[in-house]
Amino acid sequence: QVQLVESGGGLVQAGGSLRLSCAASGSIFSIAVMAWYRQAPGKQRESVATISKGGSTNYADSVKGRFTISRDNAKNTVYLQMNSLKPEDTAVYYCAGQRFGSQMWKYDYWGQGTQVTVSS
């Protein structure tokens, strides 16, 4: 079992920056990939960024060049640095973890979410 807790959300103006944190605890050794998802009201949840245990990263086209996913293994924490924020980035952001052996797009662990609101 893995527990994920997001933090760092809040209200920012367009063009501003925010850093989200995801603290992991439990059977962390079982995690192959960590991801940030987001869900805006009335929209489907979408993948924003992923980082593998080996450090490979992927980003949604909508955030490339603006968002950066990273990790601090010593702190068991994954980050999402969000720059040049747009109102369209407003959503609840979720941290997710994928176990070794899971399907490519299946995530087994989820945090409670943290609200990011970008005003214009």
| pLDDT at 73 exceeding the cut of 90 | no
Q: How much is the mean pLDDT over the chain?
A: 96
Write down the pLDDT at residue 87: 98
Write down the pLDDT at residue 104: 78
- Looking at the chain, the whole-number percentage of residues with pLDDT higher than 90 is 90
Closest CA to 89 of 48, 35, 55: 48
**What is the distance between the alpha carbons of residues 75 and 68, in angstroms, rounded to a whole number?**
18
Write down the pLDDT at residue 110: 97
Which tens digits make up the pLDDT trace of 52-63? 999 999 999 999
Residue 54 per-residue DSSP state? T
pLDDT band at 103 (very low <50, low <70, confident <90, very high): confident
| pLDDT at 119 exceeding the cut of 90 | yes
